[in-house]
Amino acid sequence: MSRLDTFIRRLQAQRLCLDALADRLQGLPGPVLELGLGNGRTYDHLRERFPGRPIFVFDRQVAAHPDCIPPADQLRLGDFRETLPAYAAEGQPPAVLIHADIGSGDKAASMQLAADLAPSWARILAPGGFLASDQAVEHPLWTPVPLPPGVDAGRYHLYCREN
């Protein structure tokens, strides 16, 4: 499979997963967290699929398309390892969805980053809430959820926090 194919399939998987979760999360109140603003593509999609909800966005820096810059009060800039614990201490309502699009070209480092962040995600995620991640990440608080049709196993990872 070419790198172009891999890229396209990753974006398709993201969209299918986020769309499926938007349907499942209707009626469950709470903010959405976007980890990895990047170009702003998935942030823009979340804005469309979760209208009216606060979307708190995390990244080292803002390098997004000008149309996809979050409002300052919903932006947390810095290393995830520092901004997530700080966010967890803010006392915001539990999040219904954490979307972690945090991977780099270094697979081992990306997996380690997800493992490092899992305790903060567990603090932030609401009972019944979902984690959608580009990295597999285990935690006793959540269980894997089947992927939507059209998403190959391992391409994206969905988890639900039990009550």
Ligand X SMILES: C[S@@+](CC[C@H](N)C(=O)[O-])C[C@H]1O[C@@H](n2cnc3c(N)ncnc32)[C@H](O)[C@@H]1O
By CB under 6 A, tell whether 79 contacts ligand X: yes
Can residue 48 be called a binding residue for ligand X (CB under 6 A)?
no
Helices (H), 32-106: 41-49, 80-88
**Closest distance between ligand X and the C-beta of residue 104, in Å?**
6
Q: Which of 40, 137, 151, 159 binds ligand X (CB under 6 A)?
A: 40
- Contact call for residue 119 and ligand X (CB under 6 A): no
Least distance (Å) from ligand X to the CB of residue 113? 6
Which two structure tokens, joined as six digits, stand for 98? 């954490």
Strand partners, 132: 99, 158
Which residue is at the shortest CB distance from ligand X?
38
- How far apart are the C-alpha atoms of 149 and 147, rounded to whole Å? 7
Under the criterion CB under 6 A, does residue 103 sit at the interface with ligand X?
A: yes
Q: Tell the smallest beta-carbon distance from residue 127 to ligand X (Å).
A: 26
CA angle (124, 152, 138) in 5-degree steps = 30
154: number of Cβ within 10 Å: 9
CA dihedral 59, 70, 26, 157 (to 10 degrees): -20
Compute φ and ψ for 134, nearest 5 degrees: -80, -10
Judged by CB under 6 A, the residue of 59, 129, 135, 161 near ligand X is 59
CB of 47 to ligand X, least distance (A): 12
* Residues engaged in binding ligand X (CB under 6 A): 36-42, 59-60, 79-80, 101-103, 113
